[in-house]
A = this chain, B = another copy of it.
Amino acid sequence: MTKFMDVHHGMVGITDQQFHQAHAADLAIQGDEGVTFEHAWADPEAGIVYCLSEAPDADAVQRVHQRAGHPADEIHRVPLSL
């Protein structure tokens, strides 16, 4: 398992409720792909959402996000963390 940081753009104006709902949609199906979403952060002004996960690979992260209706624009393997 490796850590991944994925990034979503185009989320300008995302509300706290929308953010929670989107994250809950990921959590509901993450087990199917062996993914564990650990944290997420949103900048509603710039419309950027960051998600940190542990996953077998980037494709697994993307499959969860796609099925939840919000595919990621970038997925980065972040093997170094502090």
- List residues of chain A with CB under 8 Å of any chain B CB: 3, 5, 14, 16, 19-20, 23, 39-46, 48, 50, 52, 76-82
- Copies of this protein in the assembly total 2
**A5 and B54 alpha carbons, distance in the complex (Å):** 19
Do the beta carbons of A80 and B19 come within 8 Å of each other? yes
Secondary structure call for the A interface = strand
Contacts of A40 in B (CB 8 A): 81-82
The distance from the CB of A14 to the nearest CB of chain B, in whole angstroms, is 7
**A77 and B41 alpha carbons, distance in the complex (Å):** 9
Do the beta carbons of B77 and A45 come within 8 Å of each other? yes
**A65 and B20 alpha carbons, distance in the complex (Å):** 31
